[in-house]
Chains A and B, each alone.
Chain A
Amino acid sequence: MDIFGIPHQALLGQVMLGLVNGAFYAVLSLGLAIIFGLLRIVNFAHGAFFMLGAFVAFLIGRYFGIGYWPAMIMGPLVVGLLGILFERFALRRLYKLDPLYGLFLTFGLVLVLEGGFRVAMGSSGHPFATPDSLRGVVNLGFMVLPVYRAFVILVAVVVCAGTWIIIEKTRMGAYLRAATERPDLTQAFGINVPILLTLTYGAGVALAGFAGVLAAPIQHVNPSMGSDLVIIVFAIVVIGGLGSVLGSALTGLGLGVIEGLAKVYYSEASSTVVFLVMALVLLLRPSGLFGREEN
């Protein structure tokens, strides 16, 4: 069966691969949305923290022989702690200023982290072995999918759902939502908003670090693996709107699929299709698909 002249096996195959990319977009834009919601800061360093997570997994494997599964805990942990330090000693000074300064500061951090890793590790990629238990392939009938990629999609969905549950259904999430709406009132009710901000930033970048560990076996671990990704994620965030956590995750997955489809039908456009969709959304629905009008 052909769909617009493309065999449906090839089509479904690209859609599956698009879903894998979309899984990363989803986890990353989720973290961006959480951070933006509470801190009003667009975290340019999100991609750098993603790269950092991948490098933590790679380095602890190389020097301490620690495997993939512990790295899934340690990567986000290290990245989250660094994020907390960064928030505590730098970002915090900017909350009263125009949010653009936050963008600039995190951009500076990107340069420092990327440059630093380039000095220490070189520019070329380091291969990272897929864990034994996730090797091999599954035959889906229309395509042969490596187990690891299926695992990535699954984990991303679980992480997004888990984050949504934490934000919407727990007490901690209620504090978070309250502080997002009215930080001053929340503070007046005796909730320590500054610590909440610090922890939120830490958790947001830990998500990016987690995505980095997840990406390590697929991409070669290298210093610039995060920065090109983060620009795509920015476009996705503009498309989805930063207002909704679930919305940004769905947009991420969706755009991954669209990118996969573009690879089949017009491969030259596959690197630009996300930006084209963004331009289209801006023309038709400027506040984003799930967005609220911002001021």
Chain B
Amino acid sequence: MFSPALKRGLLVVLLAALLIAPLMPHLIYPIFLMKMMCFALFACAFNLLLGHAGIVSFGHAAFFGGSAYITGYALRDMGWSTELAILAGALFAAILGIVIGALAIRRQGIYLAMITLALAQMVYFTFLQAPFTGAEDGMQPIPRGSLLGFIDLSSDTRLYYLVLACVAGGLWLVNRIVNSPFGEVLRAIREHEPRARSMGYAVDRYKIVAFALSAGLSGLAGSLKCVVFRLASLTDVHWHMSGDVILMTLLGGMNSVFGPAIGAVLISLLRHYFDALGAWVTVVVGLIFMLCVLVFRRGILGEINHLLSRRPAAPHPLKEEQNAQI
């Protein structure tokens, strides 16, 4: 386990590095950096459900990609200012999260995963057929608009700081939620639902709120990505995306708050640098997936935490009685 001081130190260094990164565009491409930050937020938001509530959603692409369409519509067709468009996207995702969550929690575990997958597929077809989405071509180009109506965001640097602020805010919120009494109740439900119910917690309501929060924050990430790339496309609502975010979370470590962000960065790097290999990337991603499930279930951060802690951890992360670390 990391000591609190080390944690804080690492966070400060990371934040400082991200703050000065756009000053060195030759070192790392700011657009790519923004993309990685969006995925980091997406994965951590997703993990609110998987890691902390023990709910497996196989349909998070609906929130991530759906919010992008809403933001795109608000910017291109309604001419809203950027912050309102992003908020609209996140709000849409949160409401969709309530609807899908309310339906999905009527079953548990494996069924819940299948239900979210099916409902997300329905969202996919809805956006495929909706008149404003441009079907297979996607929605493009979407203007980036201006922040508060007067700060023009066509400059990558300005947009970068907006994205950084939103992602940092989002991650802070995720951390707050996980370490709040609400987060404790979620973990109690994960560990032993009937007991949590018998203690008087309105289990279903907690699950739906967790769904809404996770979906809303995933939507925030999707909206930001839409503004960055000026594009909302079917790729982001497709079930492959739902699979990707599960992989990011597994790879990074689902028993932590920020582990999924590490997974998100690694998978983005893989997709970015090996893009030319085409379908081989899918094969490699699939192999990593299988490897993670078979031999590496703690994930990267989970393994690090395990190595650093003297207390031997149980081999089964989903059932591990272990508080969130980092």
Residues of A within 8 A of B (CB): 42, 90, 93-94, 97-101, 103-105, 107-116, 118-119, 123, 227, 231-232, 234-235, 237-238, 268, 271-272, 274-276, 278-279, 282-283, 286-287, 294-295
Known pairs A98-B318, A115-B282; A283 contacts B103 (CB<8 A) = yes
Partner of A111 from the list B58, B106, B243, B278 (CB cut-off 8 Å) is B243
Partner of B118 from the list A90, A110, A116, A278 (CB cut-off 8 Å) is A278
- A238, B289: Cβ atoms closer than 8 Å: no
Set of chain A residues within 8 Å of B108, measured between Cβ atoms: 294-295
The smallest C-beta distance from B125 to any residue of chain A, in angstroms, reads 5
Asked if B19 is an interface residue, CB under 8 A from chain A, the answer is no
Known pairs A115-B280, A283-B103; A278 contacts B115 (CB<8 A) = yes
Closest partner residue, chain B, to A99 (CB atom): B110
Set of chain B residues within 8 Å of A111, measured between Cβ atoms: 243, 282-283, 285-286, 289
Partner of B107 from the list A113, A119, A282 (CB cut-off 8 Å) is A282
Closest partner residue, chain B, to A94 (CB atom): B293
- B290, A105: Cβ atoms closer than 8 Å: yes
> Which B residues, 282 to 297, have Cβ-Cβ distances below 8 Å to chain A?
282-290, 292-294, 297
- A42, B114: Cβ atoms closer than 8 Å: yes
Main secondary structure of the interface of A (DSSP, over half): helix
- B279, A286: Cβ atoms closer than 8 Å: no
- A237, B281: Cβ atoms closer than 8 Å: no
15 A-B contact pairs sorted by A residue (CB < 8 Å): A90-B294, A105-B294, A108-B286, A111-B282, A112-B282, A112-B287, A113-B286, A114-B286, A119-B278, A123-B279, A231-B239, A232-B121, A238-B107, A275-B118, A282-B103
Closest partner residue, chain A, to B244 (CB atom): A111
Assembly CA distance A156 to B106 (angstroms): 32
Known pairs A111-B289, A115-B286, A286-B107; A104 contacts B250 (CB<8 A) = yes
Assembly CA distance A108 to B108 (angstroms): 22
Known pairs A100-B318, A238-B115; A93 contacts B294 (CB<8 A) = yes
Asked if B158 is an interface residue, CB under 8 A from chain A, the answer is no
The interface size of chain B toward A, counting residues with CB under 8 Å, comes to: 44
Partner of B293 from the list A105, A276, A294 (CB cut-off 8 Å) is A105
Set of chain A residues within 8 Å of B36, measured between Cβ atoms: none
> Which B residues, 29 to 82, have Cβ-Cβ distances below 8 Å to chain A?
56, 58
Set of chain A residues within 8 Å of B285, measured between Cβ atoms: 111, 115
Known pairs A115-B280, A282-B106; A235 contacts B118 (CB<8 A) = yes
> Which B residues, 270 to 326, have Cβ-Cβ distances below 8 Å to chain A?
278-290, 292-294, 297, 316, 318-319
Beyond contacts A101-B293, A112-B282, A294-B111: 6 other A-B pairs, Cβ-Cβ < 8 A, are: A115-B283, A115-B285, A119-B280, A231-B239, A238-B114, A272-B126
Asked if B119 is an interface residue, CB under 8 A from chain A, the answer is yes
Set of chain A residues within 8 Å of B239, measured between Cβ atoms: 227, 231
Set of chain A residues within 8 Å of B121, measured between Cβ atoms: 231-232, 235, 275
Closest partner residue, chain B, to A86 (CB atom): B290
> Which B residues, 185 to 208, have Cβ-Cβ distances below 8 Å to chain A?
none
Assembly CA distance A99 to B125 (angstroms): 28
Set of chain A residues within 8 Å of B118, measured between Cβ atoms: 231-232, 234-235, 238, 274-275, 278
Asked if B228 is an interface residue, CB under 8 A from chain A, the answer is no
Closest partner residue, chain A, to B50 (CB atom): A100
Set of chain B residues within 8 Å of A123, measured between Cβ atoms: 279
- A98, B319: Cβ atoms closer than 8 Å: yes
- A119, B290: Cβ atoms closer than 8 Å: no
Known pairs A42-B114, A238-B111, A238-B114; A109 contacts B126 (CB<8 A) = no
Partner of B281 from the list A115, A231, A274, A276 (CB cut-off 8 Å) is A115
